[in-house]
Amino acid sequence: MSFAGKVIDGDVRSVARLIRDIEDDMAEAREALKDLYGYTGNAHIIGITGAPGTGKSTLVEKLVEGFRGEGKTVGVIAVDPTSPFTGGAILGDRVRMQSHSTDKGVFIRSVATRGHLGGISRSTNDIINVLDAAGKDVIIVETVGVGQDEVEIVRMAHTTIVVLIPGMGDDIQAIKAGILEIGDIFVVNKADRDGAEKTVREIKDMLQSNRRQPGEWGPLVLQTQAVRGVGVPDLKSEINRHRSFLLEEGHIEPILEDRARQKLLDEIKDMVVGRILDRVEKRKDYQKVVQDLVLKVDNPYSQAERMVDEIIK
């Protein structure tokens, strides 16, 4: 059986190896992704975002437990900050969600952002496709939690969940700054704390001012206590209801189309930039240009324009 065939068959070792090769930008991984692409598009992709300390990981753990109770297989991609020393994820998948580590129906992987903005790893989209092709029913992407740059998750997920906790005014400001538009479900976690009801009211007030068109999903505001599992069954039910809404109202196709378009443009951008840089560095005058910049004989703006014009003329 081919490598891609083993992934499609759900072989855990093959899935883990391919994800590792994707992160290392191996040529073999790119070939496997070509073979797997036709088997994608079946999983329900859930994006979970929010500031650090809101309890996203605990919430994910409880959701995994709930989906497994429904008999669904689950993939979890935990996007973590990049270690400045190794370039890898600071929080490893062995540390996270240990209660599911022996469950063959759950695949958990931590990936590093490696400086990529938007709370998403550059390889996240490819890893989603791998888990999708491997037959996972639900794929949960937990983002870094860095503020309003998190909006990139909406381009990948079918259902986007924004997690907040009471008493964090910065979170409300972040919502005002742009996250308001991306959330399908807002979760006030740690709802046993003082100020939970106030936070819920503030979010609902802001949602009412953000008018939706007829036929659009009306965002919900739920309260949970993830550590104790309180409110998580309701959250899972609403996620399933949102999935049904997307299917019944014909909203899945536009999401898939947007993902495909963005992936195509990202691939073209990476290839074009890579090839241009390679040609620039092989130029005979490259080192002289650099020295001229150091000596201030010339400027990088004019030189960049000249080189690009010569390459793509």
Q: Quick one: 229 and 281 in the same domain?
A: no
Which of 227, 249, 271 terminates a domain? The answer is: 249
Q: Quick one: 145 and 269 in the same domain?
A: no
Q: Quick one: 188 and 275 in the same domain?
A: no
Q: Quick one: 134 and 274 in the same domain?
A: no
Q: Quick one: 301 and 210 in the same domain?
A: no
Domain contains 27? no
State pLDDT tens for residues 286-302.
999 999 999 999 999 99
Q: Quick one: 274 and 245 in the same domain?
A: no
Domain contains 219? yes
Neighbours of 155 (CB within 10 A): 18
Q: Quick one: 215 and 284 in the same domain?
A: no
Which of 249, 276, 294 terminates a domain? The answer is: 249
> How do strand 185-188 and strand 159-164 relate by DSSP bridges?
parallel
> For the stretch 166-205, what's the b/e string if a residue is b when 16 or more beta carbons lie within 10 angstroms of its beta carbon?
bebeebbebbeeebbebbbbbbbbbbeeeebeebbebbee
Q: Quick one: 149 and 203 in the same domain?
A: yes
Domain contains 101? yes
Q: Quick one: 210 and 155 in the same domain?
A: yes
Which of 203, 223, 249 terminates a domain? The answer is: 249
Domain that includes residue 89, residue range: 40-249
Q: Quick one: 180 and 239 in the same domain?
A: yes
Domain contains 183? yes
Structure tokens at 242: 């949102």
Domain contains 12? no
220 within 8 A of 186, measured Cβ to Cβ: yes
Domain contains 198? yes
Q: How far is CA 208 from the centre of its chain?
A: 27
Work out the mean pLDDT of the chain and round it to a whole number: 85
Domain contains 216? yes
Which positions ≥6 away from 37 have C-beta within 8 Å? 129, 133
State pLDDT tens for residues 115-161.
444 446 568 899 999 999 999 999 999 987 655 445 678 888 999 99
Phi, psi of 214 (to 5 degrees): -55, 135
Domain contains 9? no
**Which CATH number is 235's domain given?**
3.40.50.300
Q: Quick one: 245 and 129 in the same domain?
A: yes
CA distance 162 to 179: 8
Q: Check residues 221 and 218 and name the one with the higher pLDDT.
A: 221
Asked if the model's pLDDT at residue 58 lies above 80, the reply is: yes
User: Residue 211 has what pLDDT?
Assistant: 65
User: Residue 79 has what pLDDT?
Assistant: 84
- What's the domain count of the chain? 2
Asked if the model's pLDDT at residue 90 lies above 70, the reply is: no
Q: Quick one: 165 and 288 in the same domain?
A: no
